[in-house]
Each structure stands twice: as structure tokens, then as C-alpha cells.
């Protein structure tokens, strides 16, 4: 870390955070290879171990350096970027990675559909080749942050005659193109963080196809595995939800009971085990692509988060039923998702989505049982039949 610390110090000396324009600072940090240190030189990094990233981020934070606001671009940073790095051409990496990291371009994910949620390979959105372009028609749903996004990672069916997993192709879709319509989906929190997206004769250049034609399922699995690692890797010690609930406990002596104290301690231990396991998993996978192990981390995160949110309401008693955010129950389309800086009532409601996003807990359990534990897979009748012959 000594050499990296010197690089950070030299960079800060040349780019004073107090006087340098925010975007100029972030662009320069990317160019210096101090954005994603594990990424290759020329693409924000230096090909160094992923474990060094937290040290670099800490040094910049301590110096008051501007953030790239990862809470606004979690899909871009945690899912799109590593997928583009793995399958993208040099031209694609050059075009997309830098503005993605600086936050100039926000990304969303066009995967799930009304008839293809848990069974993602069953997507029916069609992409038909027309010269050097693809014409895309279909509907996507549960698209977090689509209303803020400039680009999307998109899975579409390009060969309906192939079996469902083989007939998919992966694209990078410009959300400002003609034919892209975004409609809000209001959630139990009162917000419309999610959206449904309609694609009508959207034309995507073949230069924005990621991976080979028909390779979409393989590319999408890289995205999903990175998503699950990103969701489940855990925050700092007593960070995230466990930190919020522990603080609520300390500030609410009237809500304490021996039974709640026991549950809090058990969840604190669970959160700490998950944090350490997530950090070890991130280090283990730094030199390669995430595998199914990340699914277990995501599954654990969802359980702990939901149990903590429920425990906080019990500690607060009737006060936990209040929902006092500034917008109240008015429908808003948020710029970012904030799990910890909101009311306990919001956290309780929003945590319900933790067992759905990134793959439902039921599907994740199947992945863990089959691909981690090696148990027999479920019987499937659709594995060897062309997609067009399957019941819709």
C-alpha cells in the first residue's frame, strides 16, 4: 500500500479537492488509475488486488475528495462496469467506463419482464437484426432508476428457434433513444424507485452488442453474479442496517427488553459474520469472475436486513409506525435509494424488496443448493425445446 499511498498523496497535491472542479477531479482520478485499482491500466485502474480499493477510497475520503456518488449508480458500478470489462471491446470500454465511474452517465438494468422474472431466460423482448442495427420491441419491468438512467444493460431474444437459454443476446441500450418509454411503478414506500420500460422499434447499433450473438445468457450471468456479490458483500463494521438499529437501541432505553436484546446481539453477530465472509469473498473473486458463492451472500443479506428492520420497529414501539419523511406519502421518483438515512417505517417497508432484487430468495436457494452444495437440480421439461414452442 505504500506505493499506492504515495500515488494518492501526489495526486491530491496536484488536484486540491477544495479548489478543483468536482468532475475534473473525478476524471483526473480515473485517468490516474486510482478509480478502480483492480481494473486494467487505461480503464481507471492498475491491475492491482481488489483488496487495496478500500484503502485508496479511505485516503481520498480523509482528504475531503469528492465522491462519485455510488448510491446513485449502483447498477452501473456494481453490474454494468464489470460486465463491460469482461466482455466489452476496447472501443466499448473506452466509451462507457469513464463516464460511468464519474457518475456522468447513470445506468439501469433491462432484464426482468412481466413473464420472465424468476425465470429470466424466458424473456420475450425481441431484437431483430437490420443491417448494422438491431430493432428491439418488448416490455421490461422492475427497472430500478430507469428515470435517471442514460444507458441500460439489456437482454433480448434474438433467436426464438433456439432453446431459451441459447437464443439471447446482450446489448447496451441508450435510454434517450426514440421508442424508449419509462413509466413509474409506485411501491409500498410511496416512492417510484422502480419503473416499467416499453421498447418500441428501438434501434441499437451492433457496436453496442456486448458479447457474441446468442451469448446473452452467459453475459447476463456475469452481471447477476456481480450484482449478488455487490448486494451481499456487507458494509464496514457496524455499518449499514446493523449500525442504524444498534444506534436506535442505544437511544431508546424505554424500548429495551431482554428478548429484544438477545435478538439484537444475535443479529449483530450474523451481520459481522456476513461482513467478514463478504470481504473474503470479494478478495477471493478479485482475480476472476464471481461464481454462485455470491448468491449465498445475497441471500444472507436479505434475511438479516429484513429481520433488523422488523426488530427496529419493535424497539421503537408505536413511534416505529410513523412515516415522517419530507414527502410523506406523495409519489416521488427518487434520485437514489437511501436505506439508512430514513425513518424506521421506510426501512421496514423497503426491506421487503431485499428478498426480491438480485434474484428472489427462492431462486437463490436453488442456485446455492445446485451449484454450491451439488444437490440434484429440479426436473425441467423446457431445457431442450425451442423457446417458441414453450407455453407463454
Residues contacting 50, CB < 8 A, separation 6+? 37, 38, 282, 283, 285, 286
* Residue 238 is a catalytic residue: no
HEC profile of 293-310: HHHHHHHHHHHHHHHHHH
180 with 197: CB under 8 angstroms?
yes
Instruction: Write the CB contacts of 293 (distance below 8 Å, at least 6 apart in sequence).
Output: 281, 284, 285, 372
3-state SS, residue 271: helix
Instruction: Decide if 140 contacts 125 (C-beta within 8 A).
Output: yes
Q: Residues 6 or more apart from 234 whose CB is under 8 A from it?
A: 240, 271, 274, 275, 276, 277, 278, 279, 297, 301
Helix (H) or strand (E) holding 318: none
Of 290, 295, 296, 283, the residue nearest 83 (C-alpha): 290
User: Beta strand 151-157 with 107-110: parallel, antiparallel or unpaired?
Assistant: parallel
**Other Cβ atoms closer than 10 A to 147:** 20
Beta strands in the chain (DSSP E): 107-110, 126-130, 133-140, 151-157, 168-174, 180-185, 194-205, 209-210
Q: Which of 105, 196, 227, 307 is catalytic?
A: 227
User: Which residues on adjacent β-strands are paired with residue 154?
Assistant: 110, 171
Active site residues: 227
Amino acid at each position: 500500500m505504500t506505493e499506492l499511498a504515495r500515488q494518492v498523496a501526489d495526486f491530491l497535491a496536484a488536484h486540491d479537492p477544495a479548489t478543483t472542479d468536482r468532475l475534473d477531479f473525478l476524471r483526473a482520478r480515473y485517468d490516474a488509475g486510482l478509480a478502480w485499482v483492480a481494473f486494467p491500466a487505461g480503464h481507471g485502474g492498475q491491475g492491482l488486488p481488489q483488496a487495496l480499493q478500500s484503502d485508496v477510497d479511505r485516503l481520498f475520503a480523509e482528504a475531503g475528495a469528492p465522491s462519485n456518488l455510488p448510491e446513485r449508480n449502483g447498477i452501473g458500478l456494481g453490474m454494468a462496469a464489470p460486465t463491460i470489462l469482461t466482455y466489452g471491446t476496447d472501443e466499448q470500454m473506452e466509451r462507457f467506463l469513464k463516464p460511468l465511474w464519474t457518475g456522468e452517465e447513470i445506468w439501469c438494468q433491462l432484464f426482468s419482464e412481466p413473464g420472465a422474472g424468476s425465470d429470466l431466460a424466458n424473456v420475450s423482448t425481441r431484437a431483430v437484426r437490420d443491417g448494422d442495427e438491431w430493432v428491439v420491441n418488448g416490455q421490461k419491468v422492475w427497472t430500478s432508476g430507469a428515470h435517471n438512467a442514460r444507458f441500460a444493460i439489456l437482454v433480448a431474444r434474438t433467436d426464438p428457434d433456439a432453446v431459451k437459454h441459447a437464443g439471447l443476446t446482450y446489448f447496451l441500450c441508450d435510454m434517450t433513444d426514440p421508442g424508449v418509454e419509462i413509466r413509474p411503478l409506485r411501491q409500498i414506500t410511496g416512492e417510484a424507485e422502480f419503473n416499467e420500460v416499453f421498447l418500441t422499434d428501438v434501434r441499437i447499433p451492433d457496436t453496442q452488442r456486448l458479447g457474441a450473438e446468442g451469448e446473452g445468457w452467459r453475459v447476463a450471468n456475469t452481471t447477476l453474479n456481480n450484482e449478488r456479490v455487490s448486494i451481499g458483500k456487507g458494509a464496514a463494521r457496524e455499518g449499514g442496517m446493523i449500525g442504524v438499529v444498534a444506534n436506535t437501541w442505544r437511544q431508546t432505553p424505554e424500548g429495551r427488553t431482554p428478548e429484544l436484546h438477545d435478538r439484537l446481539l444475535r443479529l449483530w453477530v450474523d451481520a459481522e459474520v456476513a461482513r467478514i465472509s463478504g470481504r473474503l469473498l470479494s478478495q477471493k473473486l478479485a482475480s476472476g469472475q464471481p461464481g454462485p458463492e455470491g448468491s449465498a451472500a445475497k441471500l444472507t443479506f436479505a434475511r438479516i436486513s429484513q429481520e433488523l428492520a422488523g426488530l427496529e420497529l419493535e424497539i421503537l414501539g408505536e413511534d416505529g409506525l410513523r412515516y415522517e419523511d419530507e414527502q410523506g406519502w406523495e409519489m416521488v421518483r427518487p434520485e437514489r435509494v437511501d436505506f439508512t438515512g430514513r425513518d424506521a417505517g421506510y426501512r421496514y417497508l423497503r426491506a421487503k424488496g431485499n428478498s426480491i432484487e438480485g434474484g428472489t430468495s427462492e431462486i437463490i436457494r436453488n442456485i446455492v443448493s445446485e451449484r454450491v452444495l451439488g444437490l440434484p437440480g429440479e426436473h425441467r421439461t423446457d431445457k431442450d425445446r425451442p423457446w417458441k414452442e414453450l407455453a407463454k
